[in-house]
Chain A
Amino acid sequence: MPLNLSLEISVWKNFRFLCIFFALVFPLSAVAETKVDYKNWEDVTSAAKGGTVNWFMWGGADNINHYVSDYIGGELKKRYDITLKRIGINDTAEAVNIVLGEKQAGIDDKGSVDMIWINGGNFRTMKQGDLLFCGYHSLLPNNNLVNWQNPSIANDFGLAVDECEVPWNRAQFAFAYDSALTKNPPKSISELIDWVKKNPGEFTYPAATDFNGSVFIRHVFYHAAGGPDALLGDFDQEKFDVIAPKAWAILNEMKPYLWREGETYPNAIANLAQLFANREVALYFDYDPAIFGINVENGIFPETTRSYGLEDGTIGNTNYVAIPYNSPNKAAAMVAANFILSANAQYEKAKADVWGTAPAIDISRLPEEDKLRFLSLPRHPAVIDPAALSKKALPELHPDWISAIEKGWQENVAK
């Protein structure tokens, strides 16, 4: 399975490259339509009535599928007469590639994708390729619940959102361990280095090609740079050349003490989860701490799983939904995007037995009773309190920095 997976992923990576290549080589007269034709929210909802939203999203979690298909789908039907079609994919790039392919073929108004769960590099690809429908935030009533002053919401991995996507969840990196087996897990990157040496074979991280492996390597990078401040903004080769060797030195120092002596790295976070589940490694980490609770509930992780952030802070991000420029159901998609921001939808999603992910809206902007509802939510014991975690949140880097770090890791550590 892991081999196939990496093959499929590399196929998709190559496909995207090909698509971008063709889109550049054979520019078709496709101009992204980013103009909003609706005057107010009533216009949008009446146009949306009876519409269908094809929402492309990662489909590998039954609880998320249930939440989206049953709860959101049910409510959209009931409230707005909108049919939600959830289309499960393995990799967000698949949806991006569909839109890219359609643009290349000159299909500018009858696209097949109405909404994508997206962030980071995929958002960059779409925004820079003029593949997104933008400029509709002022139409959405629930947009008021979003704190756009927060730079980690207004910027998606360092790239300004510019009204091209709507936040859905907040996620922040955290570590997990089995409290029955590990008493004192390392609470900072420097502690981790010592811990790994004392506990050979008990730790590993996915390769930089994996989303979560890449963010772990960025934590080491932040540590080597003495904090993220020096790395923010556009990519700077000189800064990179100073910091990178330190980061590679740390990772190479750890290497002989990793699982299988660092000869190989898991190629996907699911494989690290499996290693942790099988107690081959003692630590697990994930960009979305809700997954710890989900995995315990699914019987993948032991009941005694607990999680924590690092003393120096951990990297946080926001994930969004975006509407492609060629969606034929933009009004219905806007209604869906507005609905998922509502207090009700965000509350349902925050329940530990539904999903347990942190809300994208600013709770303090809600009426008193809604606010209390969120604050009194029971948390899964395996999931660290998002409020405590977010006190030490580190920003994400510009995608160019991320690509450079990922490439550098392949060349300097993986070999």
Chain B
Amino acid sequence: MKVTFPHMGNMHIAIKALMAGLKLEVVPPPSISKRTFELGIKNSPEFACMPLKLNLGNFIEALENGADTIVMAGGWGPCRFGYYAQVERDILEGLGYQFQMIVLEAPDSKAYDLIQQIKALGENVSFWEAVKAIKYGWSKLNALEVLERQFDYYLPRARDKDRVEMIYDGAVVNIDRAGSKTEADEAAGQAIKKMGMVDLKAGLPLKIGIVGEIYTMFEPAANYDIYRLLGRMDVQVSRSAYLTEWLNDHIMGGYVKKSNRKNLIACAKPYLNYEVGGHGLETVGNTVHFARRQHDGIIQIGPLTCMPEIVAQSIIPSISEKEGVPCMTLWFDELSGTAGLSTRLEAFVDMVHRKKVPADNHIKEA
């Protein structure tokens, strides 16, 4: 059995570790490239959102490389994502590929169910081995998260941004190669130490929160690396979600880690009192959360045609007015030119900056 899965940011590193613990052979899809986009777009319904198209591109490329089993997340609720595993299976079968598809559903009550699900995936794995495999994958996710947080801190402050990016990219590779939790933690720790030695600019950077649809937030190919674009403009970004949190809330049933969801739901009131599917409620909650945490601006990102985010978008202007924080929404689709994106980001950062800095200093900063 050769297992593959869709890409989502750095998630492949953890999944590789998990699958290794389950004694499975893994064929990760090649990194998302122009070809992935082309394959996905060609074979998907036109009105589907970007995540489906990229998933599909990933699967086709992985199947070409010899994978025969696809593991995909399922889900319920009004967002289309819950149905994507089925749609993707249908399209791939129509294209004539031979494969097996395993859909992981979030357990609705017991942690035991989840471990059973993962155990069933592995080949002759004991219950205890399944638990160990999950822990190993989880430790890599944790190391990556610690690294990401420091990266977001140092990139806007550093004078030599290329160097910070290089250290980060190197550390991600090292965490991927690490054979144990200790090695992964060490790789992250060393990189953070190196980042700490980079020359820093004086003064505090602007702080902008990123909220929105989960896939677009995690996958740099889907958001044109918005975190780095902003970091290079001397903006410190606050990510509203990390992989550990998302997996914890949606796949692990909230057992592994303390969840922030309750706080978000409380924040979302009175702007939005109900689940609207997908990540809509979280987006509204996070926007309020960031606004109250003294952020200078908030950017909502999502794939074009994403319904929950459209609902959130229509609520954000009233949050912006009441909480007094500038907000902007960006939709991502298959455009390859980044000129439009950087113009909007620049203009937004400029606006936030001019609002913050007292009138006398405007021109000096401009």
Q: Do chains A and B interact in one complex?
A: no
Query: Which A residues are within 8 Å of any B CB, using their own CB?
Result: none
Residues of B within 8 A of A (CB): none
